[in-house]
Amino acid sequence: MEPSAPSIRQTSLCLPFESEAHYRTCVEERTVYRAHIDRLCGEHPELFPEGIGSGYGLHSQYYSVKQQLLLRRIRLKATGKVYLIRPSFVLPYMVGRTDDLEKALRLRRWGVPFEELACQFGRDPMYYYRAWVSFGRVALVGTTVKTVAQLPAHLVADEKHTWVQGEKVYLATTAANGCLLGASLATEASADALEKAYGEFATEARQVQPDYTPQTVNTDGFQSTRDAWTRVFKTITLILCFLHSVLKIRERCRKALRRRLLDQAWHVYEAKTKAQFSQRVRRLREWAHAHLDPGPVQEAVLKLCQRRGDFLLAYAFPDAARTSNTVDRLLNYMDRVLYSMNYFHGTTLTARLAVRAMALQWNFHPYGVRTQRADATRSSPFADLNGFQYHPNWLHNLLIAASMGGRRL
């Protein structure tokens, strides 16, 4: 069995500074440095350990030879723990300057090969690979969701198969509010394997809120997926994805019949109440018996009608997702990137880090010009979810949000 994936040091705080000159001034002047930390602690306490409120002292300093930069450490009075403070203009472990790598790493969202990044920006392909894959070491939930109030009550989950060295694996993803909050690999499609994969999301969410329990999760009809979620969260309500049932009908229809059947199926979906939904399901079942010959098409329609009870659960939760569109769109993005890189060629451990890096980059990627022109308040999925951003640059924003590895201790 492979060891668990390592995490970025939780004793490293990443904080924003106005510029490198501002940072150097803060480091040289202890009173200015403390004033800056105190201001950030008041504005963004989630970036600091919980014991920061009891006070701290400037502990020691460290000089990075690689970056020619002086860094300071603080020591909490409550716990005695020591934390290194790193400015957001340098990457973890001092591997490079953020602004030097930002453009190259931004291209990874479109699957640009690391060899091409090295050709265009210099250095070695493995340099960019290591910098990119290190995103996957931080907590997805803690880095993306910065307040307990933003933890989603309603989730959408699905799997997509991919390959590691030619062996099929399953990419288990959890999404909500336009963000990917869980991404892990399962070596098989059993309930036990999927429980472990989806359990990573539960573990990280409970680091933000120990008693976190979502109300609903929307899944397809795959039984192993549904069993896994009831094991991870005992009281969760499983809502069946209506879209998957419609797609099964479409796959089995010829063109002449397809439009009519799809219109009837979506007419059922658009019902406003439970009673109206049940009535439309009964009419669809009667029509299928009367007008469809026994065979795959009729079976698909009748199967949709038989699962009426699973669909009705959504009416008790008006904010719950009734289809898996939220996660399907994000899975399509990840699948395009994976296809462009011809899937994975290393171990399942590095593949897991890579899918988490893709998920985190999606959460922090800047929206296109057209989207920002239409709504100037929208800048990224992270900003949409939390209502703010730490820095206008997406990579600075990601690094600051990942302070302490996304885990507040």
Q: What is the pLDDT of residues 188-209, one digit of tens each?
A: 999 999 999 999 999 999 999 9
Question: Model-level pTM?
Answer: 0.90
Number of other residues whose CB lies within 10 A of the CB of residue 367: 17
Query: Which parts of the chain register pLDDT below 70?
Result: 1-10, 409
